[in-house]
Structure 1
Amino acid sequence: MTDPLLSVVVPFYGVEAYIGDCLESIAVQSYSNIDVVMVDDGSPDGSRVIAQQWADRDSRFRIVTQPNAGLGPARNTGVKNTNGDYITFIDSDDLVTRHGFARMISAMETTGSSLAGGNARRFNNSTGVKPSWAHLHAFARTRYATHVTEHPVIARDRMVWNKVYRRSFWDEFGYEFPPIRYEDYPVTLKAHLDAVTVDILSEPVYYWRERESGDSITQQVFKYENLVDRVTSASMVIDLVADAPIEVRRRTHVMLAESDFVAIVQAFADVPDDQVDKFLDLGHDLVERLGIDALQRRTRYDQLQYHAMMARDTELLRELAVFRRDGGLRGGLRARRVTPRSRRFEYPYPGYDKRYLPRDVFLAPTKEMALRSAVNAARWTDEGLVVRGTAEIRHLRSDSPGSATIKVRAVSKQVRQLLPIRRFDDIDSHGQLSAVGFEVTLTHAMLEHWADEDNPVRFDLQVGNKGVRRNALLKGLRPGSATMPAGTFVDGGWWVQPASTRAGELSLTYHQDTWQLLGAAVEGDEIVITARAPRPLQVGQFVLAGSRWAQELRYPADCVIDGATTTMTARLPLREIQRMSEDDDPYLRTTSRAVTVKAGGSKHQLRWTADRHTIGHRIDDHLFRLTRTPGNFTVLTESAIRLSSDSLAVEGEGAQATVVVRGRNWTGYDDFQVAWRRYLPGTEDFVETPATVVGDEWELRTPVATLLDVVGEPTDVDPLADLADWTLFCASETADLATAVLPGPFLVEQAPWVVVDGHHRGTIASRADTLHVAVREAAPPAPETAKGR
């Protein structure tokens, strides 16, 4: 039976730098019976040339042309020029996963649903890949043959492009996109309401590009014409749910209050004086449609902006918008008692002295004043495991160790031990130096005493400040050694492994009879891998885990028994593995296979106990790396060719120090350059440090002063804001490529590094497979005196 035809509509306008990658991700789909209609919406750049190249080389691609009319009309034109059994929409600067179409169509063929949608990821070169906030709730769980009235959280699904629609369903209801921005939501929500059933997939099917420059349509949020379209779209959505079940209507109104209302009030940070009245009228129009109930379900700061809007208090609206824009809700103001003896706290937000404002909008919810902890580093020393972190009651300043107490206990089913700690000042959650820092050394004697394979050890925090006490488990593992900690053996043969629990808590687990990776080396196009089994074995296999798209692979091991243990050796043929693998990642093109050992009918994970460096080899345009996971297990990854950074060191001290990064070049090109890069706000322009030309192995030496000598002033409103954010980049004219350098796991496990030049402080750490230097003021300011008192 022939697969049903899927029509793919791809409008394009001014996307010369991105459309090639987009069309490539569509062309390599595992679902191949597609008809790709590329709609040229009067594009002024070279996008048409790239689209024509695809039409010339692949008969499934064709171009339809129209004068520039906008994204909605371009999609409508695309629909009119398609005749597939199914239809989908792709924005021309985004990517689709290799199996996304197949997964959605397979679901619909099984369930008979009207449409299917999948999760999304956001990505760019500077920040890597991360979950999409817009899809976090609606696509948290896979649900087949469901409906928005059954699961009202689906009403938060605004985007049209991460879905496949049954064409008969689309034509039956005659969907058309309005000729405005924010054209997605009215169509998407109506389709959810009209559908017989829908299929919701939690796995990602779509990669949504986040521009470094911030110049996409949805990021131009504060222009009046943009906001008019936004309110028009919101009004259409409100009309759609007018007769919907109350929970669907409520979810939809709250979603609009969360995004569209906030966009309008935030526009007052920059509204010209001569346009104030029409912005106020626009806000009133939306609020009247939403109703007060939706705003009352939002945060108290949203409610504060609502009251200022309804009072047409332009001065306060400006002050509130600037405070929020500059990060005031993240840092800045502290909570204070309502009265000296009160148990309740409040925030002295802008407008505190306005008598018309309800007092409860300034109250601090109890849940916001919870215990907040962070684990900044977890490193092994000769003494044991040294854990450095912070602990505080959120929004209360910890003035001194005497006034703010911190106690740490190791806890398990059998252990409850108060630990000695060292206190010091560190950066708190408001970006200010205060008495929140602590360090605890878990000595080898402690670790041996706690050993019990069935009872992980966690760490209970007790924090007191200004008469308020909170208790919680230590959590908040920061990128670097805290999220990628090494393990070690302690006396008695126990392997102790720091790790994060599902709830994000720091945990120590103990393991006996550990199966160990002893070493690995590249020989030709094979990786020779050696492991130790904690028992005598005659026969064993190394197993590379399979996935939905790749079968499990097994390779026989040569076993040499040595007393109570066995040394096992096998060859991993990388060309064969490459033929048997298929990624579903259109950006990094990464496939990861856990490496285990099968013996006696059981599989055993391999702890990485070998030398602390990645084993890598290139096969054609694929890079294989044998390395470790955050849990310190062995994994074989296959990805697109990228430069990697394998080690980092800070040589010297203070302003004379130098950051030295070393790595390997797997690309086959010898004209790559590596440099620290930071993008300038609102543009595609960037500045770079002096670069180094790359060979097979490269070294970049950058003076700390170069990285920290940036222009920018910290604000009292948000001391946590970065003055600059450098990303380690590589670029090649031959390869026509510029991308972030991949930090290796054994570099990550040593991070973070902190460098200071007297004025600025830089923190070097990994972030979503990229390496960054975040620059802030060296000595954060004291908190601003509260206003209105």
Structure 2
Amino acid sequence: MKPKISIIVPIYNVEKYLGRCLDSLLKQELKGFEIIGINDGSTDSSLTILKEYADKDDRIVVIDKENEGVSAARNDGVKKANGEYIGFVDPDDWINPFMYKHMLEIAEKDQIDIVMCSYIREFGTHAKEKIFDLPNLSSFHNGDVQKNFMRRLVGPLNEEVANPELLDAWGTVWSKLYRAELIKNNNIHFVELKEIGSNEDTLFNIYASYYAKSFVFLNKPYYHYWRANNTSITSKHNPNLVSQFGKLYNSIENFLYEKNMSEEFQIALSNRISLSTLGLGLNTISKGNRYSILKQVSDLKNVLNNSRIKRSLDQFELKHCSIIWKTFFYFAKKRLAFGLYIMLMSIEVLRKTIR
């Protein structure tokens, strides 16, 4: 019997967390689903744990492959998926028992292409819900999907720029349920991180939302996003991130041009590039960067003088920003790298203490 949902789990060296993740998936209050666990060349006991679970439950499908990265692993999972719908879960996260049941009910009732829920950030010592200032349920159809969902993925407009921390809150794939035909019929796939640095989720969702005829946002925090994993790729310093982000922006820009999207999307992308100075700055000062403070400030200066980033910052409007973000982006616009460094250090401390 064809499963209703295929849950794709890319796995790499997560022996500490994998059992928790798989337990939460197997406890879903839903009949007829499969879990596709892709072991992406793990060097710890992740594969052993995955196989032990698979031996006890035939809903788990095991793919064992050489390490190619999370994007390739997810793409392999999509190819293997038999479900009418596809969901993605990261192996250090977990989900509520009724998450997929509730999302599937919404998808099947109105033939929805993409259903999204909200999530909770888990820090080990405390948890914090990601707040979306929206009704309990928001539904969009046809052109409104691109106008409201796809455009948010491309970048913020007007008052939305006031919250840089929400820039990629819409872009995660693990908070969503997709109609499998939407992904497979349009050949939507994940781009390798070595090409674009990060935001492979957002790029995937930009493509998916363009082709989607319907989208529902369910303002319920069903997904638990584990933020205490110090080995996560997002916790490491990446010296190539500026050039990789350039390729990411090129991919988005070319897609918008190819699909003849409106000028509003171009403005949104420009705002995304401006707001990305926060992520690029935090990457520059991250603990994985062993260079001196002077070298880090110099690297920040180079980020701010990047031609594309500089052009976007020059066009970026500060009127919707709070006083803190006005100060931050004033330093960025004026290429005041040392002032930006001080603010980034303060932001990093706040991220670790109050989050």
Counterpart position of 2:280: 264
1:209 to 201, 222, 226: 226
Q: CA deviation at 1:252?
A: 4.6
Letter in 1 for 2:255: L
Q: CA deviation at 1:300?
A: 2.4
Counterpart position of 1:197: 214
Counterpart position of 1:304: 330
Counterpart position of 2:129: 131
Counterpart position of 2:148: 151
Counterpart secondary structure, 1:69: coil
Q: CA deviation at 1:279?
A: 7.4
Q: Distance in 2 between matches of 1:289 and 1:125?
A: 40
Q: How does 1:39-118 map to 2 (within 5 A)?
A: 39-118=38-117
Letter in 2 for 1:178: V
Q: CA deviation at 1:103?
A: 1.6
Q: Distance in 1 between matches of 2:138 and 2:172?
A: 18
Counterpart secondary structure, 2:116: strand
1:171 to 177, 184, 196: 184
RMSD: 3.2
Question: Structure 1 vs Structure 2: percent identity of aligned residues?
Answer: 21
Q: Check if 1:232 corresponds to 2:247.
A: yes
Q: Distance in 1 between matches of 2:329 and 2:44?
A: 44
Counterpart position of 2:202: 185
Q: CA deviation at 1:226?
A: 4.0
Q: Distance in 2 between matches of 1:74 and 1:247?
A: 34
Q: How does 1:634-783 map to 2 (within 5 A)?
A: none
Q: CA deviation at 1:267?
A: 4.7
Counterpart secondary structure, 2:306: helix
Q: CA deviation at 1:277?
A: 6.6
Letter in 2 for 1:102: K
Cα 1:267–1:91 change in 2 (3 A) is closer
Larger relative contact order, structure 1 or 2 (CA cutoff 8 Å, min sep 6) = 2
Q: State the TM-score, normalizing by the size of structure 2.
A: 0.79
Equivalent residues of 1:264, 1:279 under 8 A apart: no
Equivalent residues of 2:314, 2:333 under 8 A apart: no
Q: Which has the larger radius of gyration?
A: 1
Equivalent residues of 1:120, 1:207 under 8 A apart: yes
Q: CA deviation at 1:70?
A: 0.8
Higher strand residue share: 1
Q: CA deviation at 1:241?
A: 3.8
Q: Distance in 1 between matches of 2:57 and 2:345?
A: 49
Q: CA deviation at 1:291?
A: 6.2
| CA deviations over 1:209-233 (Å, ceiling 9, x no partner) | 111x64422233x421344434433
Counterpart position of 2:137: 142
Counterpart position of 2:341: 322
Cα 1:288–1:186 change in 2 (3 A) is farther
Counterpart secondary structure, 1:169: helix
Letter in 1 for 2:302: L
Counterpart position of 2:118: 119
Q: Distance in 2 between matches of 1:184 and 1:58?
A: 29
Counterpart position of 1:25: 24
Cα 1:158–1:265 change in 2 (3 A) is same
Q: Distance in 2 between matches of 1:100 and 1:115?
A: 14
| CA deviations over 1:43-76 (Å, ceiling 9, x no partner) | 1111111111110000010210111111111101
Q: Check if 1:284 corresponds to 2:297.
A: no
Equivalent residues of 1:119, 1:162 under 8 A apart: yes
Equivalent residues of 1:54, 1:61 under 8 A apart: yes
Q: Distance in 2 between matches of 1:301 and 1:140?
A: 32
Cα 1:90–1:227 change in 2 (3 A) is farther
Equivalent residues of 1:295, 1:302 under 8 A apart: no
Equivalent residues of 1:107, 1:144 under 8 A apart: no
Cα 1:76–1:218 change in 2 (3 A) is same
Counterpart position of 1:35: 34
Q: Distance in 2 between matches of 1:283 and 1:54?
A: 51
| CA deviations over 1:672-728 (Å, ceiling 9, x no partner) | xxxxxxxxxxxxxxxxxxxxxxxxxxxxxxxxxxxxxxxxxxxxxx9xx79x97xxx
Counterpart secondary structure, 2:139: strand
Q: Distance in 2 between matches of 1:13 and 1:195?
A: 31
Q: CA deviation at 1:278?
A: 9.9
Q: CA deviation at 1:263?
A: 2.1
Cα 1:145–1:215 change in 2 (3 A) is same
Q: Distance in 1 between matches of 2:67 and 2:300?
A: 28
Equivalent residues of 1:185, 1:237 under 8 A apart: no
Cα 1:308–1:236 change in 2 (3 A) is same
Letter in 2 for 1:161: W
Q: State the TM-score, normalizing by the size of structure 1.
A: 0.37
Equivalent residues of 2:313, 2:332 under 8 A apart: no
Q: Distance in 2 between matches of 1:321 and 1:52?
A: 48
Q: Check if 1:162 corresponds to 2:175.
A: yes
Q: CA deviation at 1:5?
A: 2.1
Letter in 2 for 1:144: S
Cα 1:190–1:77 change in 2 (3 A) is same
Cα 1:116–1:249 change in 2 (3 A) is farther
| CA deviations over 1:380-400 (Å, ceiling 9, x no partner) | xxxxxxxxxxxxxxxxxxxxx
1:219 to 226, 231, 235: 235
Equivalent residues of 1:265, 1:305 under 8 A apart: no
Q: Distance in 1 between matches of 2:2 and 2:79?
A: 22
Q: Distance in 1 between matches of 2:121 and 2:299?
A: 36
| CA deviations over 1:124-152 (Å, ceiling 9, x no partner) | 3212x21126xx35x65411244444435
Q: Distance in 1 between matches of 2:264 and 2:69?
A: 33
Q: How does 1:289-688 map to 2 (within 5 A)?
A: 290=312, 292-294=314-316, 296=318, 299-309=325-335, 316-317=336-337, 319-327=338-346
Aligned length: 321
Cα 1:229–1:18 change in 2 (3 A) is farther
Letter in 1 for 2:219: S
> Structure 1, unaligned stretches of length 5 or more?
310-315, 331-717, 726-766, 769-789
Q: Distance in 1 between matches of 2:254 and 2:136?
A: 28
Q: Distance in 2 between matches of 1:73 and 1:282?
A: 32
Q: Distance in 1 between matches of 2:23 and 2:267?
A: 41
Q: CA deviation at 1:322?
A: 3.0
Counterpart position of 1:472: none
Q: CA deviation at 1:282?
A: 8.2
| CA deviations over 1:530-580 (Å, ceiling 9, x no partner) | xxxxxxxxxxxxxxxxxxxxxxxxxxxxxxxxxxxxxxxxxxxxxxxxxxx
> Structure 2, unaligned stretches of length 5 or more?
154-166
Letter in 2 for 1:205: Y
| CA deviations over 1:449-495 (Å, ceiling 9, x no partner) | xxxxxxxxxxxxxxxxxxxxxxxxxxxxxxxxxxxxxxxxxxxxxxx
Q: Distance in 2 between matches of 1:241 and 1:169?
A: 19
Counterpart secondary structure, 1:80: helix
Q: CA deviation at 1:305?
A: 3.1
Equivalent residues of 1:13, 1:41 under 8 A apart: yes
